[in-house]
Amino acid sequence: LEVAPDFFEYFQAAFPLLLADPSLWCVSAWNDNGKEQMVDVGRADLLYRTDFFPGLGWLLLAELWDELEPKWPPAFWDDWMRQPEQRRDRSCVRPEVSRTMTFGRKGVSHGQFFDQYLKFIKLNDRFVPFTQLDLSYLKKDEYERSFLPRVYAAPEVRVEELQGNRRREL
C-alpha cells in the first residue's frame, strides 16, 4: 500500500471514536468509490460512516481482533468481513478521498480488479490536520441526526441521468 501524507494523522484522530462508539468497528483509509472523478478532492477532510467494510488500510481495536482472529479466513478476508456474522450491524468510518492506494496486482484477492478499478483510486495528496478537527459528527446518534435527513431530502435521480460519469451537484 501507498499511504497519504496524513494517513497516521487520520487514524490518530479517529481512534477515540472507536473507543467511544460501540456501533463502530473500524476506521478505514479506503473509499471503495474513490475514483478521482467520483470524489470531491476539495473536501479531503470529509469523513463518513459506512455499513460496507472498505478495507485496504484499516484500524480496529484489539478486542475486535480477539473476536475475529480465531475464525480469520486464508483468503478473500475483505468479503468475509462484509458478512453479517462478522459485521454485526457495526459501521466503519471512511474518507471521501482515500488515504491508501494499492499499486500491485498481487495479494490475497489475486488481483481480480486491479486493472479495471483499483489503480484508478485517487490517493489524497495533501495533509489534513484531523487531530485538530471535531469528528464527533461521526458518532452514531449525531451522524444519523444530521446525515439521514439530508439523504431523505435529496432529489430522486434516474439512472439515465448518471450515465457517463456525469456528477450532479445537490
* Domain presence at residue 128: yes
pLDDT at 108 over 60: no
DSSP 101-146: E---S-STTTTTTTTTTGGGBPBP-S---GGGS--GGGSHHHHHHH
Q: What is the pTM of this model?
A: 0.85
Active site residue 78: yes
| Res. 46: pLDDT tops 80 | yes
Q: Is residue 169 part of a domain?
A: no
Q: Which residue segment(s) compose the domain that 72 sits in?
A: 2-162
Per-residue confidence (pLDDT) for residue 63, from 0 to 100: 96
Report if residue 145 sits inside a domain: yes
97, part of any domain: yes
The 10 Å Cβ neighbour count of residue 117 is 11
pLDDT band at 129 (very low <50, low <70, confident <90, very high): very high
Query: What is the domain-level CATH number for residue 26?
Result: 3.90.550.10
Asked if residue 168 is part of any domain, the answer here is no
Buried b or exposed e, range 72-106, using 16+ CB within 10 angstroms = eeeeebbeebeeeebbeebbbbbbbbbbbbbeeee
pLDDT greater than 50 at residue 31: yes
Q: How confident is the model at residue 99 (pLDDT cuts 50, 70, 90)?
A: very high
State the pLDDT at residue 166: 54
Count of domains for the chain: 1
Question: Residue 40 — pLDDT band, cuts 50, 70, 90?
Answer: very high
For 58-91, write each residue's pLDDT tens digit. Answer: 999 999 999 999 999 998 888 999 999 999 999 9
Of the residues 21, 45, 78, 125, only one is catalytic, namely 78
Whether the pLDDT of residue 35 is over 70: the answer is: yes
Q: Is the pLDDT of residue 170 over 50?
A: no
The whole-number pLDDT of residue 88 equals 96
Residues in the chain: 170
